[in-house]
A and B are shown apart, each in its own frame.
Chain A
Amino acid sequence: MAIKVLHHGLATTVQDLGRPGYFHLGIPIGGAMDRYAMRAANLLVGNDEGAAGLEAVFMGPKLEFAEDALVAVTGADMPAKVDGEERPGWTAFKVKAGQVLSFDFLKAGARICIAVSGGIDVPEALGSRSTYPIGALGGYKGRAIAAGDELPVGEGTLASEGKSVPEELRRMPSNPCELRVLPGLYWDRLTDAAKESFFADEWKVAPEADRMGYRFKGGRHLDFVERKQPFGAGSDPSNIVDSCYPYGSIQVPGGTEPIILHRDAVSGGGYFMVGTVISADMDLIGQLQPHTPIRFVKVDMDEALAARAERARMLAALRESLG
């Protein structure tokens, strides 16, 4: 069974839940930006949560199915169509052999996850099917899909057509979106005024926002506590001796535009970081469009862990609902 790509959309890649274990060599975890949505899509079509699906950003692909399959589209609000006829999101539907799956315009969010019963069956690379385009690793030939590609699909079941994720178990960012941040890392490089304005100001998603990182603009410039730069750090006050970067860490080169590193993060570099977006809010970032207003909200470790537990409860409810 295969899916023929008629149009690639904008940037559509094969993703699963990622490739942990190689960050110390500069190979990031990758995987769906909105993991919860990818898990939900897979569960809807009877796959393991970690099966490979497609992630499409801003614009959906156009796909022709060689055989019958069960499909689910989750994440952003971008209506799916089968031979031009609309299908609901967060719901499993059938696509018959010869039919074409396409998408309407994006209404809300940024990324859809497309799961197909059986999963996209490209070979695993370092334990994952996720695409890491910079390293030409994993996915379909190490790159985003393109018109003419034939995507292999594994053996699936057609049992669960019509299953749907209840409204309260679908998660999308609010507007303005709040991203919870644990201050730390090089937070104390900032002046008290900068520490305050970082959380007080409204920021907007900049056009430079992709799987590697999301950039934000619009807040006040962050000033640094004066110091003599340590040997090897570089001359700019925002420079440090090149260190590792946590996933979700927020660097602010030159003190101007914060960048949150995401699934395809560079593993390290020489910019100071003010803190880290908590694990519970990482999925939300993948659903932010450019120009979306956001606010950083300060939390402590206890609040971060409570939010994480809340996400775990929601995932448990999802599994129960679709199980």
Chain B
Amino acid sequence: MPARYTFGGDEHLFVECSDEMSLDAFFKSLSMATGIKDSNIKGVTEICPANASLQVKFNPDIIKPDDILKEVQAIEGAAEKAEPVLTTRIVEIPVYYNDPWTHETLMRFRERHQDPSGTDLEYAARINDFGNVDDFIAAHSGSPWFVSMVGFVAGLPFMYQMVERQRQIEVPKYLRPRTDTPKLTVGYGGCFSCIYSVRGAGGYQMFGITPMPIFDPTQETSYLRDFMVFFRPGDIVKFKPINRDEYDAAVEEVDKGRFSPPIREVKFDLREFSKDIDGYNAKLEGMLNGH
């Protein structure tokens, strides 16, 4: 399906690869973003890939809107023919589900929620036809996730579940956004999971919290010394449920500069993945665990 092109004022070209989310649309947008970057088009100032779309910021004093449009359209053709293969990394993120901090916050904003009588996890489990919260957590942490976009605020990853569409978790956002969300909350809205990189407003359902900082402007965190943002589009994430003791121990490791998330480099092939999703995910997990 050809992409839809539209201008965002006189400085942005907006490219919608698909109006619905899919790994195909994500791969195309990422591939186009890479293609545009590699073309070094004069006048292009920023390239932002998103879940199923991308945005190119340009300086119209240097390149005319019609010309940037033609350049990017030419790249679309090449991107469609490109092999859907990505060399990336898989990383394990510990998550303390049902933690006291997000629980305190979700109770504080209960009147803004679809189901004021329960918790976000109970609500999400029920509307996704899980028998109980534990089964829901097992599903959320059971398959890997693609980081399909980094943004909203500094370093926040949007993550797309790597399962068949009928198994994908879907939840609405809060009826009215909260004015507060704990830092490092693992959230969910639409078909995307996210990790709130900083404390602040938010509308995603809250499932838990990770002890692992993902944005550090001071760059003191051991694994963020080279760059303050952890995630990149195309990263693959596997959540690992942890309990309170493990959470506290991880926080202490982070504070002492000793925490380092398990990371392995992997090659992802969308065609192989689509043929046998569970088998492919098991292989990815095996690589993460060093098999």
Contact = CB atoms under 8 A, between A and B. Distances in A.
Contact of B8 (A25, A235, A249, A266): A249
A169 interface: no
Given A136-B217, A230-B19, A231-B165, A25 B191 contact: no
B155 A26 contact: yes
A279 B47 CA distance: 18
B155 A25 contact: yes
Contact of A232 (B11, B51, B54): B51
Interface string B14-33: 10101111100000000000
Interface in A56-100: none
Contact of B11 (A132, A137, A246, A267): A246
B224 to A, nearest CB: 12
Nearest to B22: A231
Which residue, A135, A243, A273, A312, has most C-beta atoms of chain B within 10 A?
A: A243
B50 A242 contact: yes
A143 B183 CA distance: 17
A270 B14 contact: no
Contacts of A249: 8-9, 12
B154 A132 contact: yes
A135 B18 CA distance: 31
A135 B154 contact: yes
Contact of A244 (B45, B54, B154, B172): B54
A52 interface: no
Interface residues of B, number: 54
Given A278-B10, A301-B65, A235 B172 contact: yes
A9 interface: no
Contacts of A27: 154-155, 229
Nearest to A280: B10
B202 to A, nearest CB: 11
B215 A305 contact: no
A137 B9 contact: no
Contact of B152 (A142, A230, A267): A267
Contacts of A312: 61
Contact of B154 (A134, A182, A231, A280): A134
B242 interface: no
A1 interface: no
Contacts, number: 178
A277 interface: yes
Contacts of B6: 184-185, 187
A318 B215 CA distance: 40
Interface residues of A, number: 51
Interface stretch (A16-24, A216-224, A286-294): A16-24
Contacts of B170: 232
A272 B45 CA distance: 24
Contact of A308 (B10, B53, B190): B10
B56 to A, nearest CB: 9
A230 B52 CA distance: 12
A74 B198 CA distance: 33
A241 B54 CA distance: 12
Contacts of B51: 232, 241-243
B120 to A, nearest CB: 16
Given A268-B151, A279-B11, A244 B50 contact: yes
Interface in B76-102: none
Interface string B47-78: 11111111101001100010000000000000
Contact of B153 (A135, A235, A243): A135
Interface string A13-45: 000000011011111000000000000000000
B239 interface: no
Contacts of B8: 182, 184-185, 246, 248-249, 273, 276
Given A241-B20, A241-B51, A308-B10, 6 more contacts: A24-B150, A184-B14, A231-B21, A232-B190, A266-B152, A269-B152
